[in-house]
């Protein structure tokens, strides 16, 4: 349930209860920030949450700095070879795909596609993104953004990038656990 609640958060206001017609809880970006401040949420997870759910540009920059440091550490630990331009490109990919999400190209981020049958038209969930509105970059786009040749990307970096995306997923898991504790009263 907390994942559903997090998707409804934005800095203006949001409805936290799924049964909004019965009772609605309105919160602001300040409320979200306050909930993030309580407890033991790690700094990277805090920056992730502020960037993703509060549209906080400062937090996005802090997250970017943290991810660059994280990638540098992983390069040393895993004996990867990667230039500075590629590190920045991979960081950009992590933020675009892991934090903000990439709009599905088929439905243009809407989640729905309109199908015309003779004179009638209907709305269906997009088959490419399963109605979420989000997709991923192609391997070619990823390689171009990371400044890595496509063959090198396919041989080595696609696997490494998935590993790095796992770190972003861990930050999201930390956030969900934290917010579950903060919003226990809603269950």
Q: What's the rounded Cα separation, in Å, for the pair 89 and 93?
A: 6
pLDDT per residue as tens digits for the range 112-123: 877 777 777 778
pLDDT band at 170 (very low <50, low <70, confident <90, very high): very high
Q: What's the rounded Cα separation, in Å, for the pair 156 and 148?
A: 10
pLDDT per residue as tens digits for the range 72-100: 999 999 998 888 889 999 999 999 888 88
Q: Does the pLDDT value for residue 7 go beyond 60? A: no
Q: What's the rounded Cα separation, in Å, for the pair 69 and 75?
A: 10
Q: The whole model's pTM is what? A: 0.72
Beta bridge partners of 26: 15
| More confident of the two residues 84 and 106 | 84
pLDDT per residue as tens digits for the range 12-35: 444 444 444 444 555 566 666 777
Can you say how many angstroms the Cα of residue 57 is from the centroid of all Cα atoms in its chain? 15
Average pLDDT taken over every residue of the chain? 80
**Residue bearing tokens 């920056």:** 47
Q: Please, what sign has the CA dihedral across residues 168, 174, 175, 177?
A: positive
């Amino acid at each position: 349930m907390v994942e559903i609640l997090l998707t409804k958060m934005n800095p203006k206001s949001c409805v936290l209860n799924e049964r909004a017609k019965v009772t609605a809880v309105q919160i602001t970006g300040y409320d979200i920030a306050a909930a993030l401040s309580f407890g033991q949420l790690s700094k990277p997870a805090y920056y992730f949450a502020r960037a993703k759910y509060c549209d906080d540009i400062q937090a996005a920059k802090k997250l970017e700095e943290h991810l660059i440091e994280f990638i540098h550490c992983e390069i040393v630990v895993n004996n990867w070879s990667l230039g500075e331009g590629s590190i920045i490109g991979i960081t950009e990919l992590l933020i675009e795909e892991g934090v903000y999400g990439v709009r599905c190209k088929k439905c243009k981020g809407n989640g729905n596609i309109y199908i015309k049958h003779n004179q009638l038209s209907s709305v269906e969930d997009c088959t490419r993104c399963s109605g979420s509105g989000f997709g991923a970059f192609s391997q070619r786009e990823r390689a171009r953004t990371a400044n890595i040749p496509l063959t090198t990307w396919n041989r080595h970096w696609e696997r490494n990038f998935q590993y790095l995306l796992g770190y972003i997923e861990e930050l999201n898991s930390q956030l969900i656990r934290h917010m579950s504790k903060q919003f226990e009263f809603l269950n």
